[in-house]
Each structure stands twice: as C-alpha cells, then as structure tokens.
C-alpha cells in the first residue's frame, strides 16, 4: 500500500445540550472553514466514544460534560482526500454555570449557545445534512 493512500478516519462530534440550545462554534480549520460545527475531533487509538467526546469538548471549550451517550453515526465523504465516519454523541454540561472558552483559537472563532429552532448558517456539511433530514438530538421527554 503506497503511504499516500488515504484512509477513512473516525470523527466524534458532541451535541452539547443546554435546555433547548446547542453549543456551536465557527470553524477556522481548512475542512469546513467558516461553518458552524459541534465540538469534536478524531478518535484516538484505544479510546471509547465517550472518552473521546469528553476529551475533545474539554480541549476545545474547557467544559466538563455529563450524561454522555451515543446517538448515531454518519458516513461523510467530504472531499477526494477526506472521508470521515462520524460518531455523534450527546451530553450536557457538568456545571451549567461554566462558560465555554475558545481554547483552540486557530481552529475555532468562538463558542456560543444557539436555539435548536434558530441555528446559525452555514452549518458544517455533515451537521447540515442531519438537520436537513429532520434529525433531532434532544431526548424525547416522557409524557
């Protein structure tokens, strides 16, 4: 196998939910530049999805998360060179009084909470596809 052969990667993205809001940040990375995305990153060797979600949210926002759970997976062929299998998790902030910090200013313009019914545009492609399909990350409340 030539060393340049691209391989799919595993991404983990986190719907961090607070009331009816979700945490999003405008990306400054080459992939999806200027689009709004969830906190997240690539699965490291030996990690569980929950561990990756906790680590990436902490690295990118400083927030500690709780009630972390798996939601769904999507297959994203983003370009000729980038193919990511994306694991979507949801969680809530461990401490609701903790504010998100922009800890990777080269990768994100800043974090903010957005109403699910009033999301900013443009969303990062894989996230936009989910919203477009009617996907809702919020837990269904008992009735």
Binding stretches for ligand 8DG (CB under 6 A): 11, 13, 29, 31, 37-42, 76, 84, 86, 107, 124, 126-127
- What are the tokens at 74? 């999507």
Q: Choose among 28, 19, 16, 115: nearest CA to 61.
A: 16
Chain centroid offset of residue 44 CA = 15
For 50, the 3-state DSSP assignment is helix
Nearer to ligand 8DG, 40 or 93 (CB): 40
Choice from 11, 32, 41, 126 touching Mg ion (CB under 5 A): 41
Nearer to ligand 8DG, 68 or 76 (CB): 76
Give the sign of the dihedral formed by CA 124, CA 56, CA 108, CA 65: positive
127 binds, among ligand 8DG, Mg ion, none (CB under 5 to 8 A by kind): ligand 8DG
Nearer to ligand 8DG, 65 or 141 (CB): 65
The residue range among 4-12, 39-47, 89-97, 130-138 that interacts with Mg ion, by the rule CB under 5 A, is: 39-47
The whole-angstrom separation of Cα 117 and Cα 9 is: 31
Q: Are 34 and 47 in contact (CB under 8 A)?
A: no
Provide, rounded to whole angstroms, the least separation between the CB of residue 142 and ligand 8DG.
28
Q: Which residues bind Mg ion (CB under 5 A)?
A: 41
């Amino acid at each position: 196998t030539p060393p340049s052969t691209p391989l799919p990667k595993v991404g983990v993205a986190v719907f961090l939910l607070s009331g009816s809001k979700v945490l999003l940040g405008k990306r400054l990375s080459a992939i999806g530049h200027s689009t709004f995305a969830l906190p997240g990153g690539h699965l490291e060797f030996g990690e569980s999805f929950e561990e990756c979600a906790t680590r990436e949210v902490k690295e990118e926002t400083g927030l500690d998360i709780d009630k972390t759970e798996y939601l769904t997976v999507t297959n994203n062929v983003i370009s000729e060179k980038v193919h990511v299998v994306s694991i979507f998790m949801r969680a809530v902030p461990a401490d609701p009084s903790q504010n998100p910090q922009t800890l990777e200013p080269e990768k994100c313009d800043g974090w903010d909470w957005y109403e699910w019914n009033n999301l900013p545009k443009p969303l990062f492609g894989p996230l936009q596809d989910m919203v477009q399909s009617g996907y809702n990350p919020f837990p269904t409340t008992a009735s």
